[in-house]
Amino acid sequence: MNLPNLFTLIRIIITPLLIILLINGRFMDALIAFTCAGITDALDGLIARILGQKTRIGAILDPIADKLLLTSSYVTLAVIGQLPNWLAIVVISRDVIIVLGVLILFLVQTEFEIRPTILGKLTTLFQLGAIFMILLTKELGVINQFIYPLILVTATLTISSGAHYMFLGVGILGKLDNGQKHQPLKR
């Protein structure tokens, strides 16, 4: 196992700890755990690129770790009343749509590569940032006036990137129906 994949596994292990901390109202500890998870996310990709340690398993595990962290965080924060339920539904719906799209492409037995788009990366950044700011606000009791605009931007980006991925997936399926070669699907 290489170092980037180890960082990804650490992020997966941190996720249940984060949820336990959130449920128990230990927001400062949750903020620390979430920040550590975010750091491992940044490090795994950076180290993989710099050291040339990109692996197939890493390409599979990294988005799973991201989805696990984000989905768990959004559901838990919504359930404990720290972020709007509708935002959790928007974030999770986008991920479900992406996973279903990948499953459909797999079922029609087409080869495709999943790569994040700039919009997808920006969406993930804002989704992570929203959780971070909510936890920071909960612990420090400051910056409240920025939370709602951040939530609106996060929701807008999430909806936009979800629609963009649907457009890309439908494009691949349309080309298959016409017997054309397809372009890689960007995640």
Q: Show the tokens assigned to 16.
A: 């249940």
Is the CB of residue 156 less than 8 Å from the CB of residue 87? no
Q: Could you tell me the CATH number of the domain that includes residue 98?
A: 1.20.120.1760
Considering the entire predicted model, what is its pTM? 0.86
Residue 185 resides in a domain: no
- Whole domain around residue 103: which residue ranges? 3-177
Name the residue among 178, 177, 131, 168 with its Cα closest to residue 150. Answer: 131
Compute how many other C-beta atoms are within 10 angstroms of the C-beta atom of residue 126: 20
Residue 22 resides in a domain: yes
User: Per the structure, how many domains does the chain have?
Assistant: 1
Q: Tens digit of pLDDT for each residue in 149-182?
A: 999 999 999 999 999 999 988 888 877 766 655 4
Task: Please tell me whether residue 142 adopts helix, strand or coil conformation.
Answer: coil
Residue 154 resides in a domain: yes
Q: Tens digit of pLDDT for each residue in 105-154?
A: 888 877 767 778 899 989 999 999 999 999 998 877 766 788 999 999 99
Instruction: Tell me 82's DSSP state.
Output: S
Mean pLDDT (whole number) for 3-9: 92
> Cα 67 to the chain's mean position, in Å?
5
Residue 36 resides in a domain: yes
Mean pLDDT (whole number) for 10-28: 96
Residue 172 resides in a domain: yes
Q: Tens digit of pLDDT for each residue in 77-89?
A: 999 999 999 999 9
Q: Show the tokens assigned to 180.
A: 């054309």
